[in-house]
Amino acid sequence: MAARLRWALVALGAVLLVGTPAMWFFAQPSPTAGALPDALQVEEQGAAQDTPETSPTPAEPADETELQESASTGDITRGGSVTIEVAPVRPAKPVSVSIPSIGIEDADIAAVGLDSNGAVEIPDDVMEVGWYDRGPRPGEDGNAFMTSHVDSRTQGRGVLFDLRRSEPGDLIEVTHEDGMVSEWEVVFRERIVKGSYPMDRVFRFDGPPGLVIDTCGGPFNSNTGSYENIDIVYAVPLGADYSNVEVETAAQTG
pLDDT tens-digit series, residues 25-79: 345 667 777 777 766 665 555 444 444 444 445 445 445 544 444 444 444 344 5
Per-residue pLDDT band at 175 (split at 50, 70, 90): very high
Comparing 206 with 243, the larger pLDDT belongs to 206
pLDDT at 208: 96
- Please give, one letter per residue, the 3-state secondary structure of 112-178: ECECCCCEECCCCCCCCEEEECCCCCECECCEEEEECCCEECCCEECCCCCHHHCCCCCEEEEEECC
Tell me the per-residue pLDDT of 121-164, one tens digit each, with 9 for 90 and over: 999 999 999 999 999 999 999 999 999 999 999 999 999 999 99
> Residue 247: is its pLDDT beyond 60?
no
Q: What is the DSSP string of 49-89?
A: BSSTTB---PPPPP-HHHHHHT-EE----TT----EE-PPP
> Residue 212: is its pLDDT beyond 50?
yes
Which range of 21-30, 40-49, 94-103, 242-251 scores highest in mean pLDDT? It is 94-103
Average confidence (pLDDT) over 171-175? 99
Architecture of domain 32-57+92-253: Beta Barrel (2.40)
Mean pLDDT of the chain: 78
Picking from 88-92, 112-116, 133-137, which range would have the lowest pLDDT averaged per residue?
88-92
Average confidence (pLDDT) over 85-106? 92
Pairwise CA distance, residues 192 & 196, whole Å: 7
pLDDT at 110: 99
Query: pTM for the full model?
Result: 0.72
> Residue 252: is its pLDDT beyond 60?
no
182 burial (CB, 10 Å; 0-12 / 13-18 / 19+) is: buried
